[in-house]
Amino acid sequence: MGMNIAIVKLEDKSDIHKMEYADVGFDTSRYVGDREFMAQDFEEEIICCPTAYCCGECISRPKDFDKVRKWLKSTRKIPKVCKPRLFKALDILERDTSLYFEYS
C-alpha cells in the first residue's frame, strides 16, 4: 500500500483541527519512495491531536532541512525521477514555518 504526502498549513499550533491543505503546487499523488521518505528517522517538529480518542491526527516538519536534503540526494531508496518533487516540498516547507507534512 502506498503512502500519501500532503502539505498542510497550520497557523495556530495549539489546535491541529484548524489545519488546512495548502495550495502550494505540490503533487499529492502517491509516488514510489514516499513511504521511504516518510520512514526516515530525522528529527522533526511533530504536532498531534492531544485527544487520542478524537482523531489521532499528526503533522510534522523537519528540524534540519539540509540533513534531509543530503539524505535524499544520496539515497537509492527513492528513484531519481521522484526526488525533485520531494526537494520542492522541502523548499516550500523551509520558506514557510506554518507548513507541515501530513502523511496518510
Alpha-carbon distance of 2 to 73, in angstroms, equals 22
pLDDT at 2 exceeding the cut of 80 = no
Q: How many residues does the chain have?
A: 104
Average pLDDT over residues 30-35: 85
Query: pLDDT tens-digit profile of 69-104?
Result: 999 999 999 999 999 999 999 999 999 999 999 988
Percent of the chain predicted with pLDDT > 90: 59
Query: pLDDT tens-digit profile of 55-78?
Result: 778 899 999 999 999 999 999 999
Show me where the domains of the chain are located: 5-102
Alpha-carbon distance of 69 to 16, in angstroms, equals 27
Q: What is the pTM of this model?
A: 0.89
